[in-house]
Amino acid sequence: MDKLISIIILFHGETDSQLVRVVSSINNQIGIDFSQIEVLLSGDGVAADRLSAQLFKNLENVQPRIFSTKESGGAGVARQHGIERTSGRYFMFIDADDVLNDVVVLRNFIDLIQKQGDHQIIVAQYTQQSRQADGTFRYYPSAERDWKAAYAKLFNRSYINQLRLTWLPDLRIYEDTYYVGVACMLATDIVYLHRSVYMWLYNDQSTVRKNGHEFNYQLHTWCLSYRHTLDILRRERPALWAVQFYEFIAGLFFRERQFPAVDPIKYRAELKRLLAENRGLWTNTGTSRIAERMVAMTERGGEYAGWNLDGSAAYFKRLKDLLYEASLETQKA
């Protein structure tokens, strides 16, 4: 029987107990036909003898296949290998240090497909477990229309293949900002499952939390992820390309202040490339739209409500200078 859903579990340095826990959260689902489900553990540069299928021998419903890349290429590479080694009509991703939220997650997804038919993407919510200073935990729901995280989503394989969308090897972080963002922005048929289906468990060694949340300060990679995004939008949806360019440049003004670049030299180089590749949008009209978006972001309800725009003139001058430098370098080449 053809599989309906492929579940790709990314793993790298997780313990055996974490791996059993995540696979058990699938095994314990109720009200579904497990012959419609396939599970693949996709390792990111994990030694071949690190994990044995015997670890899951006591699970009644799920016996995952195990694969790993020879070298670590990051989460995106491992997810792409997982896609290529599965065949379900839909695929979804789980990180090995997380779990499905409860025992009816897959039934909810399958019921939606059976009642409403196929969709390009099904988006649900996830819950983030956060550790407080006193050692206790609090739980925060994601936005209902999250278009960034790989969690809590079903991707229609046919739609993704049609886009020729792949996880990129040069994005070891912000890889889902690119992949999920592009898939959602170009979709014409997204359906929302208004409930939390995924638990993002606290792990102080996870990519986004380790080393004092250094992840947030990698502005050069943040720029690179949007360079890739804008490149696809420029080809596939020019009107959306312009909107997203203005949105990105407006938001970057605030992001620089919130998370100063950990590597200013790399950041400057990536930002200059991004501006050069999208120079056709750097017009008087375009800069006006960016300025308008910056104002809107500081107003009530905006992402940066209450922030001031001090330094915006210097910000625009710096971007203009970078674009001029890029033009001179192109002429010399």
pLDDT band of 203, cuts 50, 70, 90: confident
Taking only the tens place, the pLDDT of each residue in 2-45 is: 899 999 999 998 999 999 999 999 999 999 999 999 999 999 99
DSSP 4-43: SEEEEEEESS--HHHHHHHHHHHHT--SS-GGGEEEEEEE
**Given this model, what pLDDT does residue 215 score?**
76
* Section 177-189 average pLDDT: 97
User: In angstroms, rounded to a whole number, what is the distance separating the alpha carbons of residues 241 and 234?
Assistant: 5
pLDDT at 209 over 90: no
Cα dihedral sign, 163-167-169-175:
positive
Q: Which helix (H) or strand (E) holds 78?
A: helix 75-84
- Residue 192 is classified by DSSP as E
pLDDT band of 206, cuts 50, 70, 90: low
pLDDT at 311 over 60: yes
**Given this model, what pLDDT does residue 208 score?**
58
Structure-block tokens of residue 107: 């039934």
pLDDT at 165 over 60: yes
* Section 247-256 average pLDDT: 98
- For the chain, percent of residues with pLDDT exceeding 90: 89
* Section 33-62 average pLDDT: 92
**Given this model, what pLDDT does residue 214 score?**
78
The top-level CATH class assigned to 5-211 is alpha beta
**Given this model, what pLDDT does residue 331 score?**
77
- All residues at 6 or more sequence positions from 260 whose CB lies less than 8 Å from its CB, including other chains: 217
Q: Which helix (H) or strand (E) holds 90?
A: strand 90-95
The CA-CA-CA angle for residues 125, 231, 278, to 5°, reads 120
User: In angstroms, rounded to a whole number, what is the distance separating the alpha carbons of residues 133 and 142?
Assistant: 21
- All residues at 6 or more sequence positions from 313 whose CB lies less than 8 Å from its CB, including other chains: none
The CA-CA-CA angle for residues 305, 306, 308, to 5°, reads 115
**Domain boundaries along the sequence of the chain:** 5-211, 218-332
**Given this model, what pLDDT does residue 1 score?**
59
**Given this model, what pLDDT does residue 17 score?**
95
Report the chain's mean pLDDT, rounded to a whole number.
94
**Given this model, what pLDDT does residue 120 score?**
98
- Residue 197 is classified by DSSP as E
**Given this model, what pLDDT does residue 213 score?**
58
Contact criterion met (CB below 8 Å) for 96 and 10: yes
Alpha carbon separation from 17 to 21, 52, 80, 95, 266 (Å, rounded): 6, 13, 25, 14, 39
- For 44, what's the count of Cα atoms within 13 Å in the CB-facing half-sphere? 20
Q: Of 89-98, 141-150, 205-214, which range is least confident? A: 205-214
Helix ranges, 154-198 (H) = 157-163, 175-186
Taking only the tens place, the pLDDT of each residue in 72-82 is: 999 999 999 99
**Given this model, what pLDDT does residue 50 score?**
80
pLDDT at 212 over 60: no
